[in-house]
Structure 1
Amino acid sequence: MQWRKSSYTGGANDNQCVELGRLAPGVGIGVRDSKDPGGGHLTLTVGEFAALLARIKRTTSP
C-alpha cells in the first residue's frame, strides 16, 4: 500500500501529521501517524472517513 501525507502537513517539523492510504477494495482507508509508520494504522470505511472529515471541518471552521 502507498501512503501519502495529509495536504495540511506544515513541513518537516510538524508534530501533528497523519498519512492516508487506500486499503484493499471494499476495506476502506488507513490512517496512521507519520512519525510512527510501523506502529499500525486505524482502518475506516469510506463512510466513516467521510464522516470524520465532515466533523473535522465543522469543528475547525472559523
Structure 2
Amino acid sequence: MYRKNCEKCHKPSFSSSEFGTWLCPECGNDLTAHPFFDPVTFEQIFIKKLPVSLTRESKSEVNKTN
C-alpha cells in the first residue's frame, strides 16, 4: 500500500499500485509525479521507474529517414 499527499487539498490518497495515473480522490489533482510514502511510517518510498517503451508512432518517427 502506498500513500501520496495532495498539496492542493492537503488530503492523503492511498493505492496499492505504483503504476498509472494517480488522481486525488478529493479534488482531482494529478498526483502521479508526487513521491510515494509508507502509509504507516510516513517514510518516503523510492520506486524504480521502468523505462518507457517506444509507441508505434514514436518508433516510426525514430526509423524515419530523410
TM-score by length of 2: 0.26
Bigger share in strand: 1
Between Structure 1 and Structure 2, whose CA radius of gyration is higher?
A: 2
Bigger share in helix: 1
Which fold has the larger relative contact order, with Cα–Cα distance below 8 Å and residues 6 or more apart in sequence?
2
